[in-house]
Amino acid sequence: MGDARILIVALVALFAFDRRFVHANFANDTVPSWGAQNVRISADGENLTLTLNNQTGCRIDTINRFMFGSIEMHIKLVAGNSAGTVTSYYMSSDGSAHDEIDFEFLGNSTGQPYIIHTNVYAQGIGNKEQQFYPWFDPTSGSHNYTIHWNPSEIVWFVDGTPIRVFRNYETLGIPYPSKQAMKAYSSIWNGEGWATEGGRVKIDWRSAPFVAGYARLGLRACVWNDSQCVSTYPSSTLAPDQRTQMATIRDSYMIYDYCRDTTRFDGKTPPECSQPQY
Ligand SMILES: *[C@@H]1O[C@H](CO)[C@@H](O)[C@H](O)[C@H]1NC(C)=O
Ligand SMILES: *[C@@H]1O[C@H](CO)[C@@H](O)[C@H](O)[C@H]1NC(C)=O
Ligand SMILES: *[C@@H]1O[C@H](CO)[C@@H](O)[C@H](O)[C@H]1NC(C)=O
Ligand SMILES: *[C@@H]1O[C@H](CO)[C@@H](O)[C@H](O)[C@H]1NC(C)=O
Ligand SMILES: *[C@@H]1O[C@H](CO)[C@@H](O)[C@H](O)[C@H]1NC(C)=O
Ligand SMILES: *[C@@H]1O[C@H](CO)[C@@H](O)[C@H](O)[C@H]1NC(C)=O
């Protein structure tokens, strides 16, 4: 897709927002792709639970692929002892040099904080993690986790507050997810090898089954039909007050930033880290 076409789609999006794709339904718009026996969709298709038990975890995929969009999901994380479990909500393309945008929720022992883990892969390369503690109890109710992806930036939103931006610096030769359409995925899996305190705390199967609740899937995204976009997506960018909100959250709740992890990359941080972040 050429830059000119991206620009036209973005301009069209400002004026002709296609509401057909706003509200999605799990029964009609997603399909289980792993551990189907642990996927439960409510009769009206509006709510979903994903369960990890001693047999398997599970995953659902959107049927459509998207090229840019705002993909919204409300999630109630596993309550109680969730140590070693990973609940996720992410977008990904296929193949070896894939693109991916992640929200992963790393469980913890009862009373200990979850970690909201974010990452982005461009052309198969990840290693761009940022992690946050939630400023609320993510297990007592549903919260809005939205991935906003457009040609100029990716924004991770939690309950309407942006927590991270990854900007497009392709003009500086830095890979950005801009050429591969992605599906949205939701899953729960056994991550005890790394999830909780770096893999020190294992799953206690006496606490199983581990159940995460999903609702209000919203696909304000451009549907990709294998050759082009056949709808539009919101192209909005952050307002100044949202940037201020984000800075406040990052000051208080960010617990890991790959851009500050100098020991990890032989003393050098990746090139995007020396550019404006948002
Ligand atoms: C799901 O698809 C069925 C069959 O096409 C349709 O009758 C129904 O209205 C759809 N439900 C929703 C919530 O979109
Ligand atoms: C798996 O969980 C089921 C249900 O709680 C239990 O009956 C079974 O013994 C467990 N199996 C193993 C191998 O732990
Ligand atoms: C969820 O968050 C997104 C991003 O801020 C926002 O556009 C959307 O309106 C929110 N949804 C609800 C139901 O508030
Ligand atoms: C779990 O709780 C411990 C102790 O409070 C904390 O150090 C850790 O960061 C928490 N989160 C994870 C995912 O390990
Ligand atoms: C569906 O999810 C919404 C939002 O989390 C929640 O308010 C509602 O009670 C759920 N409905 C069912 C049937 O679980
Ligand atoms: C995609 O949509 C365009 C425009 O509607 C159409 O011309 C093209 O044939 C479609 N391609 C596929 C693979 O469906």
Q: Is 197 one of the catalytic residues?
A: no
Spatial CB neighbours of 99, under 8 Å, sequence gap ≥ 6: 92, 93, 121, 122, 123, 177, 179, 180, 182
pLDDT of residue 12: 42
Could you give the C-alpha distances from 15 to 11, 46, 130, 155, 232, in angstroms and in order? 7, 29, 34, 21, 10
From CA 278, how far away is CA 263, in angstroms rounded? 24
- Among 158, 185, 181, residue whose Cα is nearest residue 102: 185
Task: Return the CATH number of 2-268, one of 3.30.1360.40, 2.40.50.140, 2.60.120.200, 1.10.8.870.
Answer: 2.60.120.200
The answer to whether residue 100 is catalytic is: yes
- CA–CA separation, 260 vs 130, rounded Å? 10
Q: For the chain, 278 residues long, give each residue's pLDDT as a single digit of tens.
A: 344 444 444 444 443 444 444 788 999 999 999 999 999 999 999 999 999 999 999 999 999 999 999 999 999 999 999 999 999 999 999 999 999 999 999 999 999 999 999 999 999 999 999 999 999 999 999 999 999 999 999 999 999 999 999 999 999 999 999 999 999 999 999 999 999 999 999 999 999 999 999 999 999 999 998 888 877 777 777 899 999 999 999 999 999 999 999 899 888 899 999 999 88
The one-letter code for the residue type at 64 is: N
Structure tokens belonging to residue 44: 């009206």
Q: Are 154 and 161 in contact (CB under 8 A)?
A: no
The response to whether residue 251 sits with its C-beta less than 6 Å from ligand 6 reads no
Is the distance from the beta carbon of residue 197 to the nearest atom of ligand 4 less than 6 Å? yes
Give residue limits of the domains in the chain.
2-268
- Comparing CA positions, the residue from 62, 118, 111, 54 lying closest to residue 85 is 54
88 touches 188 (CB < 8 A)? yes
**For residue 114, how far is its CA from the centre of ligand 4 (angstroms)?**
7
State in Å: Cα 186 to ligand 1 middle.
Answer: 21
Report CA(41)–ligand 5 centroid distance (Å). 11
- Nearest CA, atom 3, ligand 4: 112
Q: What is this structure's pTM? A: 0.91
